[in-house]
Amino acid sequence: MTTHTWRKTSTRLADGRELIYYDDSEPYASGGATRRLDDPRPLPDRFADVEAGAAALAPIMRRDPLTGEWIPMAAHRMNRTFLPPADANPLAPARPGADYSDGEIPDTDYDVVVFENRFPSLLHVPGVPDEVTLVDGQDLFEQRPAAGRCEVVCFSPDATTSLKDVGEGRMRTIIEAWADRTTALEALPHVEQVFCFENRGEEIGVTLHHPHGQIYGYPYVTPRTQQMVGPARRHREETGRSLLDDIRAAELASGERVVAESEHWVLFVPFAARWPVELHLVPRRRVRSLPELTDAERADLAPFYLRMLAAADRFFARPLPYVAGWHQGPPALGDLLGLHLELLSIRRSPEKLKYLAGSESGMGAWVSDTTSERIAARMREVWA
């Protein structure tokens, strides 16, 4: 197995946000050269006025008394960048020889780069205590800071490409970045769960066309994960086994919904798929999170992941709008929940989208427009 060489270099942007280069190309990977680390933009320190009370930077979250869910409220995101023209793309590298524009990456090129979101929905503000307060003096109305962390992952300096086109070596670097940031964010005292994901396509709600993803460090365990806890715990108590392990084994034994396999990974459509296109990617060995993957599992994942994305784009013979996210077990739950990726799309035909109408939006009661077996059969047709 070929060793994958990469180098991590961290710096701070003008307003104090962290930016990290992940380089796999020379002379940067070996340390022969370093990317530009200074940020000459005239941006004020984002926390400069916190102590004076002049900036209410900390997004808040409120607990829904009906469901117990925390709902972050980040009003400042109303003014975030939305589908800018190509010459104002904040995720593009700086233009050689040009005046420095308001872009986020100081260097004129990069391999993979991660930085704190300029318009985060979750943000830990120094000096703001992570305490529950009551609103309007009502015991039912609980509020606390949304003290997490939101990061952006730029997959390529080329705004015209897509993640599926980056190549195996670059995909491996992205996997390393996901794992590295998971380790870093899980170490933060205010983070309970880390979610690495990509939104692609305007239909999904993407506000920047540049190939990129995000990483959220939540200050709570998400509702979707909470839903998984109950069944996983009951299965463990009744059988002594992992639910995800048994689901993988059952899908392999059936074979009806399995799309593809590699030495270390299995791709299948879940038995009760909700979305018109839905795929689950699971490792053959149970692990809790991305950092626990071995070198062999990471090396195998890189080409397999790219083949999955390429096949997804052939499903309707046009680029597929999708969300692809890594579900990692929160550290506090031990090995109860295992690592797996879920890819989903709202496209139900080449020209039609699935809208979450009354039953889905109002009651959370899903109605599928297809079957899991049909999705799997089509994915097998377009797998190459």
Catalytic residue numbers? 212
CA distances from 3 to 33, 106, 263 (A): 20, 29, 18
Question: Within the chain, what is the greatest distance between any pair of CA atoms?
Answer: 66
Reduced to 3 states (helix: H, G, I; strand: E, B; else coil), residue 282 is strand
- Nearby residues of 189 by Cβ (< 8 Å), 6 or more positions away: none
Let me know: does 68 contact 221? Beta carbons within 8 Å: no
Q: Could you say which DSSP state residue 200 is in?
A: E
Q: What string of DSSP letters covers 55-115?
A: -----EEEE-TTT--EEEE-GGGGGS--S--GGG-TTSBPPTTSPP-S-SB-SS--SEEEE
Residue 27: count other Cβ atoms within 10 Å of its Cβ.
10
CA distances for 298 relative to 158, 169, 260, 335, angstroms: 24, 11, 17, 20
Alpha-helix residue ranges (DSSP H) falling in the chain = 168-186, 223-239, 243-254, 295-314, 363, 372-382
170 near 158, Cβ under 8 Å?
no
Spatial CA neighbour of 119 closest among 162, 178, 77, 86: 77
- Alpha-carbon distance of 282 to 300, in angstroms, equals 12
